[in-house]
Homo-oligomer: A and B are copies of this chain.
Amino acid sequence: MKHGGDLTEAIARHGGAPASWLDLSTGINPWPWPIPQHLPESVWQRLPSHAETRALLDAARKTYGVPDGADIAAGSGTQALIQLLPYLAVPGPVAIVEPTYSEHAAAWRNAGHPVVSIENLDVCPDGAVHVVVVNPNNPDGRVPDRAALTRIAAQLKGRGGWLVVDEAFADVDPAISAVALCPDWPVVILRSFGKFYGLAGLRLGFAIGAPDLIERIAGALGPWPCSGPALLIGTAALGDQPWADHMRGKLEQRAHELDQVLAKAGFTIAGGTPLFRLARHPHAPKRHAALARRHIWCRRFDWADDLLRFGLPPDDAGLDRLAVALRD
């Protein structure tokens, strides 16, 4: 199973209606930003206007702390930007800090770039023209050292390449972001709207970088990459600072409770972010299968047979259901 986000395969194998499953396979916040009951009909009917796009980008600039001397573009989900960047980048090998979100390697390979897997930024080969690092990393939560990021960015600048920093899960702690590097270096920061705001179906993501770099990305995206609802809801949600502040505390609390349930069941916490936990168990595949039979879906990995990743249960009943299933 390549993606944790799709229950289709789990249901095909183990049966059950989608609603009967406890889906812990994603890192999506289970408490979404509250969408207004009624959206104006015009957001569905009209093409999004320049003014609406401007409002979204202004809200995103503020929330993501985009400095002067950097710019921002919006796409239909971070995935769309991950797909696009390899086509815009100069030819040459990309080094990716792994294990991580597998779509980075797939997209660069698909666009014809040789892909090198590296364990951390300190062992980045001289031949790499581009580097991809996820910050904090999925699934282990690693945060790359700021000095290392700056050093790599400076090296890549000399090679005409880009440092792509995927900050899909950085909303949980704004201090994590490497956005301050953008004005001075060829750094592309990716920010995902759907995960922290719990609205992955909306498809909204951002690229932040130096103005010439963002101009190229925006030019390749073309007009109207985002839907009317994404512009309206994204603008409102990104402007809702009190909700974000409250949510950070709530996610940390629930992640702590999840850790306790996992520890009680013999797992050791190996990493993660407040949106998902990486947990180690000597019989991880067996536990994964046992949970699946009880229609609880977590994430396993083909590169490690002692690790599982758990997203946050949406309520106490879900947490209890997991605890009971893990006791059996």
> Is there contact, CB below 8 Å, between B45 and A199?
yes
Flag whether A327 is at the interface (Cβ < 8 A): no
Q: Which residues of B contact A110 (CB under 8 A)?
A: 219-220
Report 6 cross-chain contacts, Cβ distance below 8 Å, ordered by A residue: A8-B50, A8-B51, A47-B194, A103-B222, A201-B228, A203-B228
Q: Given that A44-B202, A198-B45, A229-B227 are known contacts, is A222 also in contact with B80, CB under 8 Å in the complex? A: yes
> Is there contact, CB below 8 Å, between B45 and A28?
yes
Copies of this chain, whole number: 2
Flag whether A200 is at the interface (Cβ < 8 A): yes
Q: Given that A76-B225, A107-B222 are known contacts, is A47 also in contact with B83, CB under 8 Å in the complex? A: no
Q: A76-B80, A76-B227, A77-B224 are in contact. List 11 more A-B contacts (CB 8 A).
A: A7-B49, A28-B46, A45-B198, A45-B200, A46-B201, A76-B203, A87-B220, A106-B222, A200-B224, A202-B229, A203-B224
A50 to B11, CA, bound (A): 12
Q: Which residues of B contact A209 (CB under 8 A)?
A: none
Flag whether A144 is at the interface (Cβ < 8 A): no
Flag whether A48 is at the interface (Cβ < 8 A): yes
A229 to B229, CA, bound (A): 9
Docked complex: A201-227 residues within 8 A CB-CB of B: 201-203, 219-227
A220 to B194, CA, bound (A): 21
Flag whether A137 is at the interface (Cβ < 8 A): no
- Closest B residue to A228 using CB positions: B201
Flag whether A5 is at the interface (Cβ < 8 A): yes
A313 to B110, CA, bound (A): 45
- Closest B residue to A47 using CB positions: B5
Docked complex: A277-301 residues within 8 A CB-CB of B: none
Give me the interface of A with B, judged by CB distance under 8 Å: 3, 5-9, 23, 26, 28, 32, 35, 41-51, 76-77, 79-80, 82-83, 87, 103, 106-107, 110-111, 194, 198-203, 219-230, 233
Q: Which residues of B contact A220 (CB under 8 A)?
A: 83, 87, 110-111
Q: Given that A49-B6, A87-B87 are known contacts, is A201 also in contact with B219, CB under 8 Å in the complex? A: no
> Is there contact, CB below 8 Å, between A32 and B44?
yes
> Is there contact, CB below 8 Å, between A202 and B228?
yes
